[in-house]
Every structure is written in structure tokens, then in C-alpha cells.
Amino acid sequence: MAAASVSKGCFVFKPSSKKRKISMSTADYFNEGKSRTEDSKLRFDTCQLLWQQMKSETEQLQEELNKKLFDSLIEFLRKWHSGFLKKSTDWSCQIKSREIPTAALVLGVNVTDHDLTFKGLTEVLQNNITPYVVSLQAKECPGVKHLLQKLISQLMGCTVDVESQEEDAPLQSSQKRIRCSMASLAIWYRSVTQKKKSTELPGRKRTSTSHWPTPPIVLILKDIESFSTKVLQDFIVISSQYLHEFPLILVFGIATSPMIIHRLLPHSVSSLLCIELFQSLSCKDHLATVLDKLLLTTQFPFKLNEKVLQVLINIFLYHDFSVQNFIKGLQLSVLEHFYSEPLSVLCCKLPEAKKRINSLSEGQCENIRRLPSFRRFVERQASEKQIELLTNENYLKAAKSHKREATQKFLEDLHVYHENYIPVLRCLHAFTSSLPKYPLGRQIRELHCACLEKNIWESQEYASALQLLRMLAKDELVATLQKCVEVFKSSYGKKLGSTTKELEEFLVQFQGLEEAEANEEEVGPASQQKGLQKTDLYHLQKSLLEMKELRRSNRKQTKFEVLREKVVSFLDTLVRKYLPPPETQPLHEVMYFSAAHTLREHLNAAPRIALHTALNDPHYYLKNPALDRAGGSIPNVAPDICIAYKLHLECSRLINLVDWSEAFATVVTAADDPNTPASEEMNEIIHARFIRAVSELELLGFIKPTKQKTDHVARLTWGGC
């Protein structure tokens, strides 16, 4: 009662003697929920450093991929703007001056990636062309009035120079009260450009030297398919009437096809636009580039298991085609790997990993011994070595006298495995990516998944690919060998120097074979000269039959056929030597993330199952012991929507609201004394709770009103969920 009247004064209360809650560091949260493991702070720092490097690589890649698109768009705007400044008297230029320059950007169906592209485009335009760039979405512009309001309100916040911000403030504040129209926009643009010219006196330094002299107004409509036809038509017609007063440029973001412009706009309106088409990089090619830079490289030690990679690719192919969502899934994989695997502290550069091995504790040594790959390695050793590996920590950590089977040697072999795996994989893809029916896949990611899953040389697809390679034409074989030589020369594999020399020797032999054939007067069989002129299915089947007949007749092979057989055998040797799955390498768990089930739970949501679980068994989420009822009974303390949901599961397609309400009231009042009649106020409260629960079920899509019977609702689900 000391503070009964807070209007008379302020009252200070001393804090209680309880200890203040100790704040947890980020690394502590990173290790929260797990048993006490060591190196949690170091694992978290390693995870952060690794992802920052991968993120910067993806950002740089995004800039490189968009650079060509942005440069061509700027060139289009510069060409139009130069014609606008000349004010030519040519008839064709006058016709074009009445058209609004429009850039149609075909970005693809990966709509979630469009925001990043438009963000980069806005930055490029603001840095190089004009500060007046406005981006709008269809949901912001239900009418022309709203479109003009958004356009003018965003432009009023733009300033040409830093020095003129204070001078323009009264003008801007007065213009905010002007009725939103194109006339007011023209007045504002004229005043701003005149103010800029007056401030840029001779001898005075310009603050925006990168902008054009009369910067245009660029309006970006991100999702042109979602805009109302009438809104677009009216805005384009109105804007074309004011084009002589201020330069306006439109940018249409298209997800489907450029034909959508002509479907939305009639010819009388589309003729007011000077449209030029710009095509962005395909989302599949973008994904291939991301995989090439982040996973198929030795720059980053973190790798994905075949199942995890397949989960991310399936989400990409069957859900959204979003490269950004793929990168987010990769980020989640990195975080989950360092969070759940204590030995991920060794997932770093090899020199740093060697230093960390020497400081491993006893617990981390036991974690190494528990790894399945390490246990398989120990089982193959002699009994004396098994005892040393399982009991001697110095032996396990790679003491100098025992470097042969030590952890350092395992990590060195794992890095060498990656250095050799990647160029051989690219070489095999160069040979098989152009084969008919693509037995090993058309994209390198398909071949990579196949190699991660099992020994690829044991598959039927690999055997058929080798059979087709034995029928390649000479020009195709030589071109592929040249690609492989370039791949091996650019790689850093320690054991691939001799491989490059052997491939170059094959090229020299093919060149000598061509010179010898040119000097020969007698021409050999057709297979010697042509090999295969076309690698279509018909010619391959025909050549296959000829090869079978050749083996039956025991005809002597030509020099080209012998050399081609050597090349294919050499490729098969490389595959068997350098492309075994990573499970064959000891300690591969340090670098490979394999928890595909965890990743699928986080990324591939199942809302219907989650809703049914929450409504049918609220104890699963609320953890209230009173809600844990076995046998399918409905507790009266359950949330109202759960009671209504479980009751509606017992009904047929049409549900009588009166019966449903009575059953609901029976369950809710089950704990009350049945001999005591409920008051009228209580009945009204129960009735209100029932109405709210039914409304929530209707909002979730479980029921809907029906016209068949006025006091019934239709059930939209079936079965148990």
C-alpha cells in the first residue's frame, strides 16, 4: 500500500537479494542443450570464420554473374539518354522520344532471388546514373493513385547533393502536401534539377560526379505479372504525356515470359513503350556455379554428404528454384555440423588442423576412436597397432615416430583425396556430359552425387558410359582430351603431374596418327576414318553392332581404335583410383556433414502433419501433464480449438453445429458436478468459446460454410488428419 497513489510521487524499490541472471556468451548458446564438450568456443569461431569466407565468395560470385546484365542495361539507358539530350529533329527520333524506354528483365521463376537482383540493380543505378530510383511491388499499388503516391513519396526523400539537403527541405515539405499527380512530379523534378545546376557553379566541385547531367527517374516494377492491367495501362498513358518534361525509365521484372507484357497491355498502350529485352542467367546455371565455387573446390574444407546434397538439390528443383534458399540450406548445414560434431574443430585449413591435433584432450581422442571410419581402419590393422591406436594418445595424435597411422596423416590424406578427386571428377564429366541419354547425368552435380553414394565403377550406368566412349569419333575424343589437360594443369593435385603428361602424350599420338593417315593412299575401314560422325542413338547402335561383328570375325583393330581403347582404359584407371566415395577415408566425418534427416526437418516443412499433431495431441508441444491422455480421450483442460478439432474428426462430411456445440459443452463441463445446473452466464461463455474455436478452424481451412443446410458446416479434411 506504500505506492497506492502513483500520482503523488515516484517510489523507489530496492532490488531483491537474488543473484542476477548471468548472461551467456554466443559460444555458450552454441553449445547449449548438448553434453559438456570441449572446444565449443573454438568450434563456434571456426564456424563463423568459415561461413564468412563462403558468404563473401557467394557475394562476389553474385556480382560477377549480374555484371554482364547490369552493363548491358546501363548501355541501353545511356543510348536512350544521349538521344534525349540531343533533341534531334529527325522524324524517327521524334517518334522514339514519345515512347517510354522500358527494360524487360526476364529473371526466371525463382522469385525469391529477384529481390537480391533488384537490390544490386538499384545500387548500380544510384551509383552510376541517377539518385532517383524507385522500386514498387504490385501489392503496394492496387490503384493508379497509390502507385503515384508511392512513387512521389519515395522520390521526395532523394537528394542530388549532400550540400543541398537543407536548402531542399522546405521545398520537399511543401510538396508533400501537393496532390499526388504527374504534374506535381514534373514540377518537383524541374525544381530539383534547376537547383542542382545553380549549385554547380564554375570552379565549384560537384558532389555527384558519377550521375548524369539530367538524371532520369527509374521506376522498377518488380513483379509485372501481379500488377492490375488497368493500373499499368492508366499509368503508362499518363506518363507518356509528361515524357517531354522529365525523363522516365521503366524496368519490368518478369518471372515467366516477355509475352506477359502484350497480354497485360493492348497494342495502343504497348506502342507507347520502347521495350528492350534482357535475359538473366538461368537459375540452374547459377546453382552449378555456386556448387563449383563452394563445394567442388579445395578452398573450403567443409563438404556435404550425398544424402544432404540431394536434399538441398531436391528442394531447389521441386520447390522454388531459389539459389539463395540453397545457400541458406548450406549455411544451416555448416552450423549444424559444427554444433553437433565435436571433432568439427579440425574442419579448417590443414596447417591449422595440425596445430589443433597436438592440443586435443582425452575426450576428443575418445571421440576420434568412436568414429565409424576410424573403427573400420583399426579393424584392418594388426593387433599390436590396434592396441596402440586405442590406448596410446601420442600415437593417435601423430607423434613424430608414429606418423604412419596417426591423425595428422589421416587429415593429410583427406586433403590429398579432395585435391585429386575434383580434377578427376571434372575430367570424367567432360567425357560423359555429351553422351546420348546422359548415363552419368548432364550436370556435374549429378555425377558428383553418384560418386559420393558408392563406387561409381560398379554401376550399370558407368559400364554403359564406357561402352559409348569406346565409339567416340576422333575429333570429339581429341577435344575432350584437351579439356582434361586444361583441368589437370589448373588443379593442385600432388599426384596428377604424371597424369597430365600421359594425356599430352595421347594428344601427340593422335596428331601423329592424323599425319600418318594423310600420307597413306589406302584408306582403311570406315570405322578407322570416321569413328562416329554423329553421336546420336542410331549411329551408336549401328556402331555397337559393327563392333560385335568385328569381335566375332576377329578382325585386327585399327591404330585409332587401339589408341582410343587405351584412352578409355586410362580414364577407367583414374576413376577407380581417385573417385572412391569419401566413406573410404578415415576421419571423413570431420569434414562431411551427413545429418540429412535433421536438415530435411528444418527445410522441408510439413504443415499439415504439424497442425494435426498440435490439435490432436497438444501435449506434444505444450508439455502439460494434464493434457497427456491415452486412449484418445479428450481432456476438458485442453485448448478450445483442440476440443473442437477432435470432435469434428468424429463427424461426417456435413457437421451439425447444434450437435457439435452440445458435444463441446459436454467436454468442457465434464469436471463439473452433473447435478448442478449451469448458469445462463456460463452457457453464454461456453457458447462464445465454441464460436471462437469454430472460427479458428475455418481460418485454418478445416471447415467451411455450406448452403445445403443452414445449420451445418462442410468438413474439408478426411481421415485422421
Render the burial of 178-198: b for 16+ CB within 10 Å, e for the rest: eebebeebeebbeebeebbee
Written as nine digits, the cell of 335 is 552450423
What is the 3 state secondary structure string of 512-570?
A: HHHHHHHHCCCCCCHHHHHCCCCCCHHHHHHHHHHHHHHHHHCCCCCHHHHHHHHHHHH
Contacts of 584 (CB under 8 A, 6+ apart): none
The 10s digit of each residue's pLDDT in 269-289 is 999 999 999 999 889 999 999
What is the spatial distance between Cα 125 and Cα 133, in angstroms, rounded to a whole number? 7
How open is the CA angle 138-144-149, to the nearest 5 degrees? 85
For β-strands 248-254 and 100-106, DSSP reports them as: parallel
In residues, how long is the chain?
A: 721
Q: Which of 297, 290, 238, 264 is nearest to 492 (CA)?
A: 297
Distance of CA 613 to the CA centre of its chain: 30
Residue ranges and CATH numbers for the domains of the chain are: 36-157+213-281 (3.40.50.12060), 288-515+559-592 (no CATH), 607-715 (1.10.10)
Average pLDDT of each block of 10 consecutive residues along the chain (721 residues)? 47 52 61 60 92 94 91 87 57 58 92 91 89 92 91 70 40 49 87 71 45 82 93 93 87 93 92 92 92 94 95 92 94 93 92 89 89 91 86 72 66 93 95 92 94 94 94 91 91 73 91 72 45 56 70 70 93 95 94 93 84 88 80 81 92 90 90 68 90 93 88 79 42
Query: If you search the block for the grid coordinates 527517374, which residue do you land on?
Result: 217
The pLDDT of residue 179: 65
Q: How far is CA 627 from the centre of its chain?
A: 40
**Residue 315: CB partners within 8 Å, gap ≥ 6?**
325, 326, 329, 603, 604
Q: What is the DSSP string of 56-103?
A: HHHHHHHHHHHHHHHHHHHHHHHHHHHHHHHT---HHHHHHHTSEEEE
DSSP H helices in 579-639: 596-603, 607-616, 619-622
Q: In this structure, what C-alpha cell is assigned to residue 436?
A: 546420348
**pTM of the entire structure?**
0.79
Q: In angstroms, how far apart are the furthest CA atoms of the chain?
A: 119
Evaluate whether 253 touches 223 at the Cβ level (below 8 Å): yes
Asked if 118 and 152 count as a contact pair (C-beta separation under 8 A), the reply is: no
Q: How far apart are the first and last CA of the chain?
A: 54
CA angle, 153 as apex, 148 and 158 as ends, to 5°? Answer: 125
CA distances from 494 to 415, 498, 693 (A): 10, 10, 68
Provide φ and ψ at 494, rounded to 5°: -80, -25
**Rounded Cα distance, 269 and 343, in Å:** 64
Residues in Cβ contact with 255 at an 8 Å cutoff, skipping those fewer than 6 apart:
107, 108, 109, 111, 114, 223, 225
- At 347 the pLDDT is 94
Left (φ > 0), alpha (ψ -120 to 50) or beta: where does 108 sit?
left
User: Cβ distance 596 to 307 under 8 Å?
Assistant: yes
Beta strands per DSSP E along 222-289: 248-254, 273-279
How big is the chain by its Cα radius of gyration, in Å?
36
CB neighbour list of residue 104: distance below 8 Å, 6 or more residues apart: 252, 254, 258, 261, 275, 276, 277, 278
